[in-house]
Structure 1
C-alpha cells in the first residue's frame, strides 16, 4: 500500500532534531470572501447613505464570536479576517466593501459548521445594517484543505527509524498546529506521516519564520533530511526484502538532488517527501 512520508523544515527546532505526533498534526482550512453592498455618498451626510464600512466592521466582530462563544473550547478552531478593502477617499462612503479570510479546525464536522455559520453571520449582520452580502467560499478556486492526520502505525515506524538515526532524545513530540498542508490530500486517502525537521543553529543566530520575507535557509539540515528519508524508505521496504535496492536508489537520489535543491522529492513504495513549507 502507498504510504507517504513528508518532512517539513522548522526554524524553531534545533538542527539534528525532529518533531511530530500521532493523530491530527495540521488543521484543515478553507477560505471565504464577501462583498457587502450598501449605498455610497458624501461622508458629511451619512444619513443619506447605507454605510458598508460600518456593516463590514460589525460582521468582523461577530465572526470572532463563532470561536469564543459557539465552539467547544477543547475543539481548536480559528476564524481570521485578513482582507478589508473599501473606499478610496477620506470623505466618501463607498458603495461596497470586500472582506476575506480563512477558517481552520481539526475535524471535517467543525469545518462544515464554521462554513455554514460564517455565511449566516455575514448575511445576517449585513441585513441588520440595511446592507446586502454575497459570500464566496471558492475564492480564486482555492482548495479546501483536509486535516493532516498521522497514522499511529507509521508514527511507531518513524520513531523507531528517527530514534536509531538521531538518538531517542532528538525525536520529540509536538502539539498540533493550526497551519494547513496540501499533504493532507494524501493522508485523506491512505495512511501517511508528516513531521518537522529542525534547522535552528543558535551559533548562526535566530532564524526567521518560513513565512517571513527575511526567511533564510540553513542548508546544514539537508543531509539530516535526506538521510532520514532514505532510512524511512529503506526500513519500510525491508519487510518486502527489497531494502538493499531501495536504500541504494534512495541514497543516490539524495546525493543527486537532496543537497543541492530546496525541494527534496524522494518517491518510493512509501512515497517519501521532504520539502520546504508551502502554506
Structure 2
C-alpha cells in the first residue's frame, strides 16, 4: 500500500457582498482554481507508471448565499509508493496552493500536520513472510479462497511504522458478503461476521507455522530450552 499524508490550507481574501464582487477578493474562486491545479500534479507531472493520488476531500467556506467570505479552508490527502514521489508531491502541493492563491490576489497557508499526524510510510510486505502466508493460506482456505498476489493499492496503513523496524506482513480478511457496491468509509458497508473464525484460524496457523520454522532454522542452545506447557 502507498505512503500517505494529509494537508489543510487556509486561503484568505476579503469578504463582501456577493452583488458587488469587485469590492471583494473572492477566496472561493481562488480555492476552486487551487483544486483544479492540484489535479495536474498527477496527470501532468507524475510518471504514469508511478501511481500517485492527490484528493481534496474538504471544502469549507461561507455561510450565506449572498456573502463572499473572508477565507475558505480546503483539505485532503496525497499518496505515493516511493519516498521520492511522496516528497515531491508534498513540495508541489504547497507551491501550487500558495501560487494559485496569489494569482487570485489571495494569501494561503498550508499545514501538513507533520508533528501531530506523521505521514504513513508505504506498507511493503516482507518477501519471506509472503511465502509463508502463501503456504499457510492456501493449505488452510484453499487456493480458490486465498487471493495471494493482489495488485498494489493506494490505501494506507499505520502498520507500516512497524515494518520500518522489523519484517512485517499485512493482509486483508474478506468479510463482504453482499452489498459489494459499498466499501470502507461508506455508511452502507455491511460486515459479514461469519468471516471472523476464518481470520482467527489464519492468524493462529500463521503463528504456529512461523514458530515451527523458527525453531527448525535456529536450534535452541543446550540448557536454554524450556517448555512452559
TM-score, normalized by the shorter chain, greater than 0.5? yes
Pairing 1:171–2:139 present: no
Corresponding residue of 2:87: 112
**Unmatched tracts of structure 2, length 5 or more:** 217-228
Tell me if 1:159 matches 2:134.
yes
Contact preservation (8 Å) 2:6, 2:75: yes
Per-residue deviation, 1:151: 1.0
Matched, 1:100 2:75: yes
Asked if the contact 1:33/1:139 (under 8 Å) is kept, the reply is no
Q: Aligned partners of 2:192, 2:31: CA distance in 1, in Å? A: 43
- Whether 1:209 aligns to 2:183 is yes
Of 13, 22, 34, the residue aligned with 1:38 is 13
User: Is the strand fraction higher in 1 or 2?
Assistant: 1
CA contact (8 A) 1:145 1:182 kept: yes
1:11-160 pair list within 5 angstroms: 26-138=1-113, 141-160=116-135
| CA distance in 1: counterparts of 2:47 and 2:152, whole angstroms | 17
SS at match of 2:58: strand
Verify: 1:186 aligned to 2:180, yes or no: no
Q: Deviations over 1:200-222 (max 9, x none)?
A: 33xxx335423221223212111
**How much does 1:241 deviate?**
3.7
- Please give the secondary structure, in 1, of the residue aligned with 2:172: strand
Uncovered stretches (5+) of structure 1, i.e. residues with no partner: 1-25, 243-248, 250-279
Kindly indicate whether the alpha-carbon contact (under 8 Å) linking 1:148 and 1:188 is maintained by their aligned counterparts in 2: no
Q: Using the alignment, how far apart are the partners of 1:103 and 1:147 within structure 2?
A: 12
Give, in angstroms, the shift of residue 169 of structure 1: 3.0
Q: Any conservation in 2 of the 1:37–1:52 contact (CA below 8 Å)?
A: yes
Aligned-pair Cα RMSD in Å: 1.9
Partner residue, 1:196: 172
Aligned pair partner of 2:211 in 215, 237, 247:
237
What do the CA deviations read for 1:125-168 (whole angstroms, capped 9, x no partner)? Answer: 01111111010000892231110001111111110111111122
Question: How many residue pairs were aligned?
Answer: 216
SS at the partner of 1:237? helix
Higher Cα radius of gyration: 2
Distance in 1 of aligned mates of 2:75 and 2:175: 34
Which residue does 1:228 correspond to in 2?
A: 202
Calculate the TM-score normalised by the size of structure 2. 0.89
Work out whether residues 176 and 190 of structure 2, in 8 Å CA contact, stay in contact via their aligned partners in 1: no
Shift of 1:29: 0.6
Q: Which of structures 1 and 2 has the larger relative contact order (alpha carbons within 8 angstroms, sep 6+)?
A: 1
